[in-house]
A = this chain, B = another copy of it.
Amino acid sequence: MSSQFGHVFRISTWGESHGGGVGVVIDGCPPLIELSEADIQGDLDRRKPGQSEIVTPRAEADICRISSGVFEGKTLGTPICISVVNKDARPESYKEMATAFRPSHADYTYQAKYGIRNWQGGGRASARETIGRVAAAAVAKKVLKKLFPALEIVAYVKTIHAIEASVDPETVTTAQVEANIVRCPDPVVAARMIEFIKEVRGEGDSVGGIIECAVRNVPPGLGEPVFDKLEAELAKAMMSLPATKGFEIGSGFSGAKQRGSEHNDPFVMREGKVRTTSNRSGGIQGGITNGETIFFRVAFKPTATIFHAQQTVTDAGEETELKARGRHDPCVLPRAVPMVEAMATLVLCDHALRQRAQCGLTDYGSLTTV
Contact = CB atoms under 8 A, between A and B. Distances in A.
B245 A251 contact: yes
Q: Give chain A's interface residue range (CB within 8 Å of chain B).
A: 35 or more
A258 to B, nearest CB: 6
A221 B116 CA distance: 12
A113 B354 contact: no
A303 interface: yes
A286 to B, nearest CB: 2
20 contacts: A3-B79, A7-B7, A16-B76, A30-B360, A31-B114, A31-B116, A104-B280, A108-B290, A112-B274, A113-B223, A125-B286, A207-B259, A242-B286, A245-B253, A246-B249, A246-B256, A255-B301, A258-B301, A266-B310, A353-B358
Identical chains bound together, number: 4
A235 interface: yes
Nearest to A229: B240
A263 to B, nearest CB: 5
Given A32-B115, A236-B232, A285-B109, A252 B246 contact: yes
A319 to B, nearest CB: 6
Contact of A114 (B77, B228, B245, B253): B77
Contacts of A261: 205-206, 306, 308
Closest 8 CB pairs of A and B: A106-B286, A2-B224, A20-B67, A246-B248, A357-B357, A206-B260, A236-B236, A112-B365
Contact of A27 (B12, B232, B268): B12
A288 interface: yes
A189 to B, nearest CB: 15
B78 A227 contact: no
B19 A10 contact: no
B69 A116 contact: no
B67 A220 contact: no
Contact of A228 (B2, B29, B106): B2
Nearest to A321: B266
Interface string A283-313: 0111111110000000111111110101111
Contacts of A319: 267-269
A359 B77 contact: yes
A15 interface: yes
A306 B260 contact: yes
Contacts of A25: 3, 12, 14, 25
A78 B286 CA distance: 13
Contacts of A290: 108-109, 112
Contacts of A15: 67-68, 79, 81
B364 A71 contact: no
Contacts of A159: 256-257
**Max chain B CB contacts within 10 Å: which of A253, A280, A305?**
A253
A28 interface: yes
A129 interface: yes
B27 A3 contact: yes
A6 B248 CA distance: 23
Contact of A248 (B245, B285, B317, B364): B245
Contacts of A239: 229, 231-232, 234-236, 247, 249
A175 interface: no
B22 A225 contact: no
